[in-house]
Amino acid sequence: MPKIENKPTRREVTQTGLALIAAAALPRKAKAELPETPAFRHEVAGGKLPKIEERIPLEPAVAELDSIGTPGGELRMLMAGPKDTRMMVVYGYARLVGYTPSLALAPDIVKSIDVENGRVFTLHLRKGHKWSDGHPFTSEDFRYWFEDVAQNKYLSSSGMPISMMPEREGPRFEVLDETTVRYEWTRPNPLFLPDLAGPSPLFIYRPAHYLKQFHQKYADKAMLETLIKQANQRNWAALHNKFDTMYRDDNPDLPSLEPWILKTRPPSDRFVFERNPYYYRIDPAGNQLPYIDRVILSIADSKIIPAKTGAGESDLQARYLRFDNYTFLKESEQRNDFKVRLWRTGPGSQLALYPNLNVNDEIWEGLLHDLRFRRALSLAVDRHEINQVIYFGLAIEGQNTLLPQSPLYEPKYRSAWAQFDLHEANRLLDLIGLTERGSDGTRQLPDGRPMEIIVEDSGESTEQSDVLELIRDSWRRIGIKLFAKPSQLTLFRRRVFSGETLMSIDKGMENGLATAAMSPRELAPTSQQQLEWPKWGQYYETKGIAGEPPNLPSAIGLKELYEEWLAAASNEEHTRIWHDMLQIWASEVFSIGTVAGVLQPVVVNAKLRNVPEQGIYNWDPGAFFGVYKPDGFWFDLSEASAKSTSITPSPPAPR
């Protein structure tokens, strides 16, 4: 698998609309040559399932694989709760448009997309593509969603998803024929394709033939009443919602396009997913994917999952494993048949401090708005110590910004105000005028109170309190006292949103691998969820109904740049805007990053192939394993693999 170090190919967008052709450019095999999937041979012979040629689309997607595999086998994974069945949709990663490992957008379920001016999107589906129950997947499924779900006031009381409504304007939807649909906006919508490719994607289609029986418009009234009573729901909308769980994936009857289909009816502690007979991807040799016949998710308490993984109960595990489990897992390798790899995580910073610019306390607000103060705080964080103590020196020190793997990366963004310079930090603080100190050396606020910063965290892991311990000692040397206050998730967020929290600690920038085509929304005040400016973000989200408008010129500038990005259509413009925003972001230090690129242990069964040795483990983009397409993973049960000594990858050299 190609490493992410490569810069992605540019997405070509022209006035006339060049099509994006997927790697389906390989010559099509003659139909008669397609091998039947071994798991279904019996059923095909007995007439229960049609032959392979009738199950896959006329033009199936051909996967790019490191090695051709043999079908068969069972993949076991460990999850922490019944809600985690959604991970099969995340890992399965069957998307209309998806990211490649080099983070370029490529059509996946659709055969091709025509993009015009960034505002007109014509999707070409694959002829003969069927749902997992054999029913054809056509434009009717898109129409059903657009007209009968998204615009139905009972089913979608808050309207269409945000990414379909730039400037509050929805698209014009057209069905051109059975396999072609078109979405047209009056202005460019650069959020549309990235959202379709997301880990928790924008689903603009539904299995209409299945869901119509729950819809008021299509179902027989008496039948609907019976179904409502049977399912113990209040009305038809609730009924429809209950069975329409495309993302959560807990309804075994719901047809799907994913490689593995749920077979176990909840509740259960063990969910079995079996291969989709109508899956649309094949390998270059013509075998229908996925290779693996069955995926089994076992539910266990999240704290015990590292122990269970170490006991060999999982064939592919990264979720719920942390960096500090590596040593234990490595020792367990000797007793079990797996190997531990180390991938890099994608957030811009593993943990970052967020000074709350909307804090209620006026004096603190004034201080936090002062650029020099934020810079001083950042200079007084000993990132090298944090790296050495907690991450064995293997993480990348720096600010909360893009990672080197991103094409937009520049070293100056990462190193801005990130060196450990107590002298300079003290000088800046003195410059602001905070020269008064108490008897224990703590500086004093203008009104005489000692400078005590209470940093709240969501109480989720000891990592946060450890980092705060380390920062506390170095901040003491510039005269600032740090108190760590563990809290509880909902309370923590509520306090930040309402301005009661002075400073918080949380994960850094979600998307540290951004390309110019991805949204820079994290750099601008766009959402209440942003801990550094919740009220400004809320203002933007609610279009002025709630929250406060930003009053810091740099923040206003970022917001305007973001809106420019939304209106831009060309890649050059997007790139330029990104760099402008990154520049401001680096200089303003709105969040204080620590280290990034922390290593993530990934446990892989020794016989499992096509799993990259080195990779990126990230939510968006990446969908954890999704972007590496687990449908191409296979079990090598041959003698040769048992005898060969697989090279145990050693961790990357410390930086």
Partner 1 sequence: MTDLLFAGDSPRERAGGSTTKTIFPLSHYVSDAPFDPYALERMTPAQERFYMASEWRMVWWKLRRHRIAVLSGAILFTMYLSILFCEFLAPYDLDARNTDFIYAPPQRVRVFDQGQLVWPFVYGYDYRLDMSNLERVYSLNPDKPEPIRFFCHSSKYRFWGMFESDLHLICPALGRQLFLAGTDRLGRDLLSRMIYGARISLTIGLLGVAVSFTLGILIGGIAGYYGGWTDIIVQRAIEVVQSFPHLPLWMALSAILPVSWSPVLVYIGITLILGMIEWTHLARAVRSKLLALREEDFCTAAVLMGARPARIIGRHLLPSFMSHLIASATLMIPGMILGETALSFLGLGLRPPMTSWGVLLNEAQNINVVALYPWLMLPVACIVITVLAFNFFGDGLRDAADPYH
Partner 2 sequence: MLSYLIHRILIMIPTLIAISVVIFTIINLPPGDYFSTYIAELQSSGESADLAKIAFLKAQYGFDRPLWAQYIFWVGGLLRGDMGYSFAYNLPVNQVVGDRLLMTVIVSFATILFTYIVAFPIGVYSATHQYSWTDHALTLLGLLGLATPSFLLALVLLYFANVYFGISIGGLMDPQYVNRAWSFGKAVSVAAHLWIPIIVIGTAGTASMIRRLRANLLDELQKQYVVTARAKGLHPFKLLFKYPLRMALNPFISDIGSLLPHVISGAAIVSVVMSLPTTGPMLLDALRSQDMYLAGSFLMFMAFLTVVGVFVSDIALAILDPRIRLQAGRRQ
CB 312 within 8 A of CB 328: no
Residue 172 interacting partner from partner 2, partner 1, none (CB closer than 5 to 8 Å by kind): none
- Cα separation, 619 vs 622, in Å, equals 5
Phi (first) and psi of residue 578, to 5 degrees: -55, -50
Stretch that binds partner 1, among 106-114, 264-272, 365-373, 382-390 (CB under 8 A): 382-390
Q: Does 157 bind partner 1 (CB under 8 A)?
A: no
Using CB under 8 A as the binding rule, whether residue 620 contacts partner 2 is answered as yes
Stretch that binds partner 2, among 21-29, 222-230, 238-246, 635-643 (CB under 8 A): 238-246
* Residue 327 sits in the site that holds partner 1 (CB under 8 A): yes
CA dihedral angle for residue 641, residue 91, residue 282, residue 26, rounded to 10 degrees: -100
Select the binding partner of residue 270 from partner 2, partner 1, none (C-beta < 5 to 8 A, by kind): partner 2
Q: Taking the C-alpha atoms of 512, 515, 518 and 519 in order, what is their torsion angle to the nearest 10 degrees?
A: 60
80 is a site residue for partner 1 (CB under 8 A): no
Q: Which residues contact 588 (CB under 8 A, 6 or more apart)?
A: 371, 374, 554
Query: What secondary structure letter does DSSP report for 235?
Result: S
Q: Look at residue 465 and give the partner it binds from partner 2, partner 1, none, a contact being a CB closer than 5 to 8 Å depending on partner kind.
A: partner 1
Lookup: tokens for 253: 């009857």
Sole binder of partner 2 in the list 59, 148, 249, 250 (CB under 8 A): 250
Residue identified by tokens 């951004």 is: 514
Shortest reach from residue 92's CB to partner 1, in Å: 29
Residue number, 372 or 476, with CB nearest to partner 1: 476
Tell me the C-alpha distance between 535 and 529, whole Å: 9
CA dihedral sign, ordered 367, 372, 378, 381: negative
Neighbours of 150 (CB within 10 A): 18
**651 is an interface residue for partner 1 by CB under 8 A:** yes
DSSP state, residue 437: B
529 binds, among partner 2, partner 1, none (CB under 5 to 8 A by kind): partner 2
How distant is the alpha carbon of residue 344 from its chain centre? 14
What lies within 8 Å, CB to CB, of 612 at 6+ separation is: 1, 3, 101, 343, 628
User: Measured from the CB atom, is 16 or 650 closer to partner 1?
Assistant: 650
| Interface segment toward partner 1; rule CB under 8 A; list 161-169, 349-357, 623-631, 646-654 | 646-654
* Residue 241 interacting with partner 2 (CB under 8 A): yes
Reported in sequence order, the residue ranges of 86-158 that DSSP labels E, i.e. its strands, are 97-99, 105-107, 112-116, 120-124
Q: Which does 456 bind (CB under 5 to 8 A by kind): partner 2, partner 1, none?
A: partner 1
Do 402 and 348 touch, CB atoms closer than 8 A? yes
Nearby residues of 152 by Cβ (< 8 Å), 6 or more positions away: none
Interaction residues for partner 2, span 308-327 (CB under 8 A) = 308, 311, 313
Q: Which is nearer to partner 2, 280 or 326 (CB)?
A: 326
Mode of pairing for the β-strands spanning 352-355 and 503-506? antiparallel
361 touching partner 1, by CB under 8 A: no
Taking alpha carbons only, the member of 260, 108, 273 closest to residue 630 is 260
Site string for partner 2, 457-486 (x = CB under 8 A): -x----------------------------
Q: Which does 313 bind (CB under 5 to 8 A by kind): partner 2, partner 1, none?
A: partner 2
Rounded CA-CA distance 547/537 in Å is: 8
619 part of the interface to partner 2, by CB under 8 A: yes
Question: Closer to partner 2 at the Cβ: 428 or 496?
Answer: 496
**Of the candidate residues 248, 485, 576, 579, the single one contacting partner 1 (CB under 8 A):** 485
484 belongs to the binding site for partner 1 (CB under 8 A): yes
Question: CA-CA distance, 33 to 588, in Å (whole number)?
Answer: 61
- Write down the least CB distance from residue 512 to partner 2, Å: 12
Nearer to partner 1, 375 or 495 (CB): 495
Our CB check for partner 1 shows the closer of 1 and 394 to be 394
69, 306, 346, 622: residue in contact with partner 1 (rule CB under 8 A): 306
* Residues 66-95 within binding reach of partner 2 (CB under 8 A): 76, 81-83
Angle at 239 between CA 235 and CA 244, to 5 degrees: 150
Q: Residue 390: name the closest of 616, 600, 598, 653 by CA.
A: 598
Stretch that binds partner 1, among 101-109, 116-124, 168-176, 318-326 (CB under 8 A): 318-326
Q: How far is the CB of 306 from partner 1 (least distance, A)?
A: 5
Instruction: Considering only the stretches 8-16, 237-245, 325-333, 519-527, report the one whose residues sit in contact with partner 1 under the rule CB under 8 A.
Output: 325-333
Contacting range for partner 2; rule: CB under 8 A; set: 18-26, 235-243, 424-432, 463-471: 235-243
Least distance to partner 2, CB of residue 250, Å? 6
* Residue environment code for 481-500, b if the CB has 16+ CB neighbours within 10 A, otherwise e: bbebbbbeeeebbebbbebe
* Contact partner at residue 335 from partner 1, partner 2, none, CB < 5 to 8 Å by partner kind: partner 2
User: Of these partners, partner 2, partner 1, none, which one is at the site of residue 242 (CB under 5 to 8 Å by kind)?
Assistant: partner 2
Interface with partner 1 includes 495 (CB under 8 A)? yes
Residue 272 or 307: the one with the smaller Cβ distance to partner 1 is 307
CB nearer partner 2, residue 300 or residue 357: 300
Q: Are 344 and 616 in contact (CB under 8 A)?
A: yes
- Residue 310 CA to residue 329 CA, distance in Å, equals 5
Q: 534-543 long-range CB contacts below 8 Å, 24 or more apart?
A: 534/356, 534/358, 534/496, 534/497, 534/499, 535/358, 535/497, 535/499, 536/357, 536/358, 538/497, 543/168
Size of the site for partner 2 (CB under 8 A): 50
Question: What backbone torsions phi and psi does residue 561 show, to the nearest 5 degrees?
Answer: -60, -40
Strand order through the sheet with 172-177:
112-116, 120-124, 180-184, 172-177
Site residues, partner 2 (CB under 8 A) = 76, 81-83, 155-158, 161, 199-200, 232-234, 237-238, 241-242, 245, 247-248, 250, 264, 266-270, 296, 298, 300-301, 303-304, 307-308, 311, 313, 335, 458, 489-491, 493-494, 506, 510, 529, 619-620
Residue numbers of the site for partner 1 (CB under 8 A)?
303-304, 306-307, 310, 324-328, 330-331, 385, 388-390, 392, 394, 456, 459, 462, 465-466, 469-470, 484-488, 491-492, 495, 500, 648, 650-651, 654
